[in-house]
Chain A
Amino acid sequence: DAGVIQSPRHEVTEMGQEVTLRCKPISGHDYLFWYRQTMMRGLELLIYFNNNVPIDDSGMPEDRFSAKMPNASFSTLKIQPSEPRDSAVYFCASSVGLGARGGAYEQYFGPGTRLTVT
């Protein structure tokens, strides 16, 4: 398996510009998660999807952030306009739900996108 794929790996942009981060989950996984990691705040869950439908976006910091999942193999996280405080590493993760069986929901993480907003 190729694992979770994220692009770009690094992004440097100026304040006010639009930034789009991309994620391809592991084939067959029906959950997709977007996280943000900073030294100050640690690892934060921004939003997650189940079967392409957003389930919980309570972690999205503000309206400048939006996420979409048009199909099972692709998701985007967009920041418009970007600000210096958005500088962080953004991770995408995917997992397979076990439905009524419950049990472990181990997540598989991508390598992350390091975003720097100047």
Chain B
Amino acid sequence: GDSVTQMEGPVTLSEEAFLTINCTYTATGYPSLFWYVQYPGEGLQLLLKATKADDKGSNKGFEATYRKETTSFHLEKGSVQVSDSAVYFCALSRGSSNTGKLIFGQGTTLQVKP
């Protein structure tokens, strides 16, 4: 079945460091891919998305490129801030056979130290 695998956390970085959180997926068809962020005590918020191969999603300095050949959707940011400390979830939804469900990865905790 469809699945999403994220790198294990926590990821601890100093402010202004470069961030990469790896995400790979297994899916039939042509899924859409998402990154969600969850700040402490809050619900998940959509950070960015990509709906087809080679699309790049971007928001708030974060980017991720839909790589069909490597079935990956890695999240990157050039310079992290303390305020980026949160849990990040990679997710997919199916394409033409979409049931409406999202398949989530297990989440990766990011801690940014001043």
- Please give the residue numbers on chain A whose beta carbons come within 8 Å of chain B beta carbons, in ascending order: 4, 31, 33, 42-43, 45, 48, 50, 55-56, 91, 93, 95, 97-98, 102-112
Contact = CB atoms under 8 A, between A and B. Distances in A.
Nearest to A3: B43
A86 to B, nearest CB: 19
Chain B interface main SS type: loop
A105 B93 CA distance: 7
A55 B99 CA distance: 9
Interface residues of B, number: 22
Nearest to A108: B46
B51 A109 contact: no
Interface string B41-52: 011111001010
A48 B101 contact: yes
A67 to B, nearest CB: 15
B89 interface: yes
Given A31-B100, A42-B106, A43-B104, A106 B34 contact: yes
Contact of A109 (B43, B99, B101): B43
Nearest to B29: A102
